[in-house]
Amino acid sequence: MSLAVVSVASLSELCCIGFNSHRTCFRNPRKWRIRSSSAAPGVDLNTLQSAIDTKDSNAVKDALDQLREVGWAKKWSSQPYVSRRMTSLRELTTLGIKNAENLAIPSVRNDWCRQLFFLLWWEQPDFWVYLLANFLGDWGFFVPYLIGSISLIVLAVGSISPGLLQAAIGGFSSFFPDYQDRIARHEAAHFLVAYLLGLPILGYSLDIGKEHVNLIDERLEKLIYSGQLDTKELDRLAVVAMAGLAAEGLQYDKVVGQSADLFTLQRFINRSKPQLSKDQQQNLTRWAVLFAGSLIKNNKAIHESLMKTMSDKGTVLECIEAIERA
């Protein structure tokens, strides 16, 4: 589960945050034609859809700003101003975050399914060879060869068709009934909070192992790449980065999807000016969780509507419509 700030050309050297160069033309304000739409009666969403399809962040923001002016995109950029302050663990608990003192501790459960899968079928085939040879009698001379070949099959499938291997790993995750709900809740929180803060979303995935929400903002991209994020922009990005963690913390006793988000936040902090002390970084994390959690809690119905749309593999435009309809 992660948050990525990306564009559409070549990936940069950063692991968690992708940066690409994407040339965008600043266009003259559009004249909007109001016409009926099956999704949004009386509003033409074609320009927004076109901007999303071309992954033009400036055009997406322009389209949403225009839709807000005509009274449709009321939630877009409805929380544009954020201001960091000192925040205590008690405030997180009062908000409803469970076990707030453990939020910043990276979880290993998120990777448990993959580790178990490869431990059993790749790292330890000898274990199965020994076990079957001792308990299957004459078959013990044949089955070990079959079991021993599984690691080669896994390697071949992973190389030729990664999707099939991912499906197998996904099957292991069903051992945890809450897994899909956690993913949807987590990624929908990133999406919703970014939208409320006025940061355009141009893509997402709930696929196991590929969970992410893509932010594309050329101005922020340049600031991050140059290591010149100021306090205002760092605060906005921190709130979006901690939104998934906050959403899980409001629902579950233990958060398991925070590792990638904490790593992303640290990347943002490392590329900001002025540099923050350890205590300031800790306070930023707490405050961002509190601010994001408050937005999610105050927009609970919207968050749940967005979760359903994303779980049904809705398009980005359909997700935006879900936010505005709820």
Task: Give the CA distances from residue 233 to residues 192, 226, 238, in Å, rounded to whole numbers and listed in that order.
Answer: 18, 14, 8
Mapped onto helix, strand or coil, the DSSP state of residue 172 is helix
Whether the bond between 144 and the residue before it is cis, its omega within 30 degrees of 0, is: no
The phi and psi torsions of 272 (rounded to 5 degrees) equal: -110, 160
| Amino acid 120: pLDDT | 46
Q: How far apart are CA 267 and CA 245, in angstroms?
A: 16
The phi and psi torsions of 4 (rounded to 5 degrees) equal: -125, 135
| Amino acid 250: pLDDT | 96
DSSP assignment string, 278-308: HHHHHHHHHHHHHHHHHHHHHTHHHHHHHHH
Q: How far apart are CA 285 and CA 91, in angstroms?
A: 13
Mean pLDDT score of the chain, rounded to an integer?
77
Residue 47: band (very low, low, confident or very high) from pLDDT cuts 50, 70, 90: very high
Residue with tokens 């800790």: 282
Q: How far apart are CA 18 and CA 22, in angstroms?
A: 12
| Amino acid 16: pLDDT | 37
Q: How far apart are CA 235 and CA 120, in angstroms?
A: 43
User: Model pTM?
Assistant: 0.74
Q: Are 300 and 192 in contact (CB under 8 A)?
A: no
Looking at the predicted structure, is the pLDDT value of residue 303 above 50? Answer: yes
Q: How many CB atoms lie within 10 A of CB 131?
A: 14
| Amino acid 171: pLDDT | 56
Q: Are 178 and 156 in contact (CB under 8 A)?
A: no
Dihedral sign, CA of 188, 186, 229, 56? negative
Instruction: Please enumerate in sequence order all residues whose Cβ is within 8 A of that of 263, keeping only pairs 6 or more positions apart, or say none.
Output: 16
Residues 236-252, mean pLDDT to the nearest whole number: 95
Q: How far apart are CA 208 and CA 83, in angstroms?
A: 34
Show the tokens assigned to 215.
């932010």
The model's pLDDT over 124-176, given as tens digits with 9 standing for 90+, comes to 555 545 555 555 555 544 544 454 454 444 445 444 555 554 555 555 555 66
